[in-house]
Amino acid sequence: MTISPPRVQSSSEGTRVTIEPVDTRRREQVRAFVDFPYRRYAGHPLWVPPLRMDVALQLNREKYPYYRHSDADFFLARRERTVVGRIAVLENRRYNHTHAVRTAQFYLFECEDDFATAEALFGQAAAWARGRGLDTLVGPKGFAPLDGYGFLVDGYEFRPAMTMMNYNPPSYPAFVERLGFTKVVDFVSCYLGGDQFHLPERVHRIAERAAERSGLRVVRFHSKKELRAWADRIGQAYNQAFVNNWEYYPLSEDEIRFVTDSLLSVADPRLIKIIARGDEAVGFLFAFRDVSAALRRCGGRLFPLGIVHLLLDMRRTEWVAINGAGILPEFQGRGGNALLYSELEKTIREAGFRHADLTQVAESAVQMRRDLETVGGVAYKNHRVYARSL
């Protein structure tokens, strides 16, 4: 763990802002880092609070698998004794090795509506990165595949799909642009209305012919035990399907196990579909019942009543979040895409959802963006990843 000395900078209000490294072994400092957004967004009608335990786990160097190959540090901004901001800075060595780059990532940034506080936090992040010989600071970009990418830049009037995407005030993109950050990539989320989502019959016919010609089949699940049996194969399919994506890096076996265990804890097995060839997973569709409303009522805590809210909303929510759809490149031009979207329609319609959120498709994923437009997806949220040379 690298701990930098506190940095001091004057704020626009004339009171000094001190940047304090978080000692992740100290419970009170971890709690201060985790709790700040709950105060920052208190009473906000759209912010969806993550579970505090999930955020705290990201600071746990012993339990979180990311730290077995990479590193991160965390910083608080204080004005006198009051926390007024925070930031995480990551060195993902597997990502850098895969792409032959020397980048640092920032994530979990929050601050009061004060530019000087943001300037102090990003000044510390840049110093941390330069001290490690890194030459670019990019983000928001998190620890794991299900972490949301980017700052929200369009669609502030819509509630996020659970915690799979970030919510932030318009000041955050303005702050980083003022600090010299520029756009790297946009992640667009699309809306599909369950009542209007009807694929042309030819798409279903193409899907059926593709399955016959290529030996593809759809694997459906009725229990978590059945789904768990495919967990490792799903992880390997992920590592192969997204190899050309900007955000990609190969997940370690520990990370695959962690992500699949996380999925199994919240997934309805009936909403997870696998495209298989023989016993090999070559594509997948991850859909989740959107329990954003329950998460808001939980206030970040499962107990004593949070778990009750979540279980109730699992039954009555009318929204589904699609946060993972992919097919191995060699099957994309052979009807594999048609089979995937045929299953997407069935997932939405058979379960009776009225609304679907297809979360965060990178603008660089040109074919998938075209496919979503073809099936009636309407772009309604945009998250932007920024970078600045150091």
Q: How far apart are CA 241 and CA 328, in angstroms?
A: 4
Beta strand pairing status for 319-327 and 355-362?
parallel
Q: How much is the pLDDT for 137?
A: 98
Which helix or strand (DSSP H or E) is residue 91 part of? strand 82-91
Q: How far apart are CA 179 and CA 117, in angstroms?
A: 12
Q: How much is the pLDDT for 39?
A: 94
Query: pLDDT truncated to tens, each residue of the chain (390 aa)?
Result: 444 444 545 444 557 899 999 999 999 999 999 999 999 999 898 999 988 999 999 999 999 999 999 999 999 999 988 999 999 999 999 999 999 999 999 999 999 999 999 999 999 999 999 999 999 999 999 998 778 899 999 999 988 877 677 899 999 999 999 999 999 999 998 888 877 677 777 778 888 887 788 788 888 888 888 888 888 888 888 777 777 777 788 888 888 888 878 777 777 888 888 888 888 888 888 888 888 888 888 888 877 777 888 778 778 888 888 877 777 777 776 667 778 778 888 877 777 888 888 888 878 776 677 767 766 778 889 999 999 999
CB 88 within 8 A of CB 148: no
Q: How far apart are CA 384 and CA 187, in angstroms?
A: 6
Q: How much is the pLDDT for 9?
A: 54
Q: How much is the pLDDT for 144?
A: 83
CB within 8 Å of 240: residues ≥ 6 apart? 328
What values do phi and psi take at 253, rounded to 5?
Answer: -60, -40
Listed residue (347, 382, 16, 388) closest to 170, CA to CA: 382
Q: How many CB atoms lie within 10 A of CB 299?
A: 14
Going from the C-alpha of 90 to that of each of 125, 137, 142, 236, 350, the distances in angstroms are 9, 9, 8, 24, 41
CB 179 within 8 A of CB 118: yes
Q: How much is the pLDDT for 5?
A: 45
Listed residue (90, 69, 102, 94) closest to 143, CA to CA: 90
Please report the domains of the chain, with CATH numbers, ordered by start residue: 7-143 (3.40.630.30), 192-382 (3.40.630.30)
**Cis peptide upstream of residue 200 (ω within 30 degrees of 0):** no
Q: How much is the pLDDT for 367?
A: 67
Q: How far apart are CA 318 and CA 348, in angstroms?
A: 10
Q: How much is the pLDDT for 7?
A: 52
Q: How much is the pLDDT for 100?
A: 93
Q: List the structure tokens of 296.
A: 């808001």
Q: List the structure tokens of 365.
A: 């994923």
